[in-house]
Amino acid sequence: MSSTPFSGVIAAIATPVAEDGGPDIDRCLRLARHLLEHGCNGLNVLGTTGEATSFSREERMAIMTAYKQSGLPMQRLMVGTGAAAIADAIALTRHAAELGFAGALLLPPFYYKGVPDEGLVAYVAAIVKATETRPIPLYLYHFPAMSGLAWHVGLIRRLLDMFPSRIAGLKDSSGDMSFARAAAAISRNFAVFPSTEAALLEARRGDFAGCISATANCNADLCARAWENGDGAALEAAVAIRKLFDGKPLVSGVKALLAHIHGDPALARVKPPLAPLPAADRAAVVAGHDAIRARRVA
């Protein structure tokens, strides 16, 4: 297994939204506790599934503070701190470090496209320098379909050479498993997490550190059986639940299924520009989930 503080099943936890559009802190914390108690080794707070870029810097910091004040195990939490503005990324990463988060997940600055590697190196260097008194481990967030920018293998090598004690790993949401394997091969001390639970048996063999998955919000118990016991049937069921979202909006889909699983319609709320899952899609996802669960013998 990986030597990173993070390994195994990590849910990219959804952020419940209150009626006024702000974060629903009480529901955030209840969901976090539920996931940690039902199969998750860790949580990725305020990632894409957590709608991080739809919340203001102040809202993101308030969510982070609430996690700390609630007594949740900070050693099991990483948090997204990347931002388009370097000052925002620095402020968020400093806050994460001060609160004791075990890692900061860095989305690249995502507005300008086609920027040279030097620009991305300067972005990371500024964050490293600004947090050197509290050197929180940094995880690169590779999601070029959303950010338009890639932490490609050559750039990762360069950053590891420059900041070997700070660059801890990468979340790969590209869906390109050949890239994930190439990134994982860079160094035994560089922890790579594909964004799909389908990679868990490979991870269990030591190819990856685990997974950071949006759908682990809904199938963490099944993922845990695969990670801990090599349970192929459990993994097949977990992946089948993930496939229910194919062709559908993932974030609103996950939230709709969470609302069904927990019997709490408020969990389905999303922030604009996202919209609630259409009723027909919701019905299909719920029916598919319940059928998979009914077939799965505990």
User: How far, in Å, are 122, 139, 163, 239, 256 from residue 245 at the CA level?
Assistant: 37, 26, 38, 10, 11
Smallest CA-to-CA distance from 120 within 138, 107, 132, 131 is with: 107
Which pLDDT score, from 0 to 100, does residue 4 have? Answer: 54
pLDDT band at 5 (very low <50, low <70, confident <90, very high): confident
190 is written with which tokens? 């560089």
pLDDT band at 3 (very low <50, low <70, confident <90, very high): very low
Q: Rounded to two decimals, what is the model's pTM?
A: 0.94
Which pLDDT score, from 0 to 100, does residue 29 have? Answer: 98
Measure the CA–CA gap between 62 and 135, rounded to whole angstroms.
Answer: 21
Helix (H), strand (E) counts: the chain: 12, 8
pLDDT band at 2 (very low <50, low <70, confident <90, very high): very low
- Classify residue 52 by its DSSP letter: G
Average pLDDT over residues 88-105: 98
Measure the CA–CA gap between 89 and 212, rounded to whole angstroms.
Answer: 21
pLDDT band at 1 (very low <50, low <70, confident <90, very high): very low
Q: Count of CB atoms within 10 A of residue 129's CB?
A: 10
Domain 8-228 has CATH 3.20.20.70: yes
Does the pLDDT at position 289 exceed 60? yes
The answer to whether residues 97 and 79 touch, using CB atoms and an 8 Å cutoff, is no
Q: What percent of the chain is predicted at pLDDT more than 70?
A: 98
Which pLDDT score, from 0 to 100, does residue 115 have? Answer: 95
How many residues does this entry show for the chain? Answer: 298
DSSP assignment of 230-289, as one string? --HHHHHHHHHHHHTTTTS-HHHHHHHHHHHHHT-GGGG---TTS-PPPHHHHHHHHHHH
What average pLDDT is seen over the chain?
96
The catalytic site residues sit at 141, 171
